[in-house]
Amino acid sequence: MDAIAERKAVLRHEARARRDALPVAERIEASFTMAERVAGALRFDAGTVISAYLPIGSEVDPRPLMALLADRRARLAVPAIVAGELEFRELLRDAPLEPQGFGTHAPGAGAAVLQPAILFVPLLAFDRSGARLGYGRGFYDRAIARLSDIHPDLRTLGLAFAAQEVDEVPTGPHDRRLDLVITESEAQGPSAAAFPTRPAR
């Protein structure tokens, strides 16, 4: 194991432990706070395809946010794992979901495959430069690279609890930085200056 991979493994273990240690009520409240902040500040046209994810374990729950974005006529998608890569399938109300492995679910193979222009990304740890530490399989790094070819103005936003911040995430040549990481207290990353820290009213 090289030095970067070893450091990432340690950070993953530590960040997951901090996230798991947050009280459930605190995680729920923080998820709603993020939903209100992001839905009030994010600008997009009706019909824009926005992908989030269905949470596993102690991840930030983006479902309150997805409901608010749907109210603003976003077209929602969530990732499915197909041949080791992420395929973004349309999420419709009451559509059946199928297990994808790793504890997550997605619409079945009959769902429309979409190419999101805005991507909400789960993570284990992040730093103030927008560097993200995922689960080590590279799913999102590869998906961001592919979607960037389709949407040159692709926006990538991480959802995390403040407790997941670290001083520095070690990165390699294939690691993709996020435009923003939103926590219950602030937004950080290259595009943070343009993102209000309080919900728009």
Q: Residue 133 annotated as binding?
A: yes
Q: Residue 140 annotated as binding?
A: yes
**Packing angle between helix 24-41 and helix 63-71, nearest 10 degrees?**
30
Q: Residue 40 annotated as binding?
A: no
Q: Residue 42 annotated as binding?
A: no
Contact (Cβ atoms closer than 8 angstroms) between residue 63 and residue 24: no
Q: Residue 159 annotated as binding?
A: no
Q: Residue 135 annotated as binding?
A: yes
Q: Residue 132 annotated as binding?
A: yes
Q: Residue 138 annotated as binding?
A: yes
Q: Residue 54 annotated as binding?
A: yes
Dist CA 199 CA 188 (whole Å) = 15
Q: How many CB atoms lie within 10 A of CB 102?
A: 11
Phi, psi of 156 (to 5 degrees): -120, 125
Coil, helix or strand for 144?
Answer: helix
The per-residue b/e assignment along 117-143, b for 16 or more CB within 10 angstroms, e otherwise, is: bbbbbbbbbbbbebbbbbeeebbbbeb
Q: Residue 9 annotated as binding?
A: yes
Q: Residue 145 annotated as binding?
A: no
Nearest residue to 179 via CA among 196, 166, 193: 193
Q: Residue 137 annotated as binding?
A: yes
Q: Residue 108 annotated as binding?
A: no
Q: Residue 57 annotated as binding?
A: no
Phi, psi of 106 (to 5 degrees): -155, 160
Binding residues for ATP: 8-12, 132-140
Binding residues for substrate: 54, 59
Binding residues: 8-12, 54, 59, 132-140
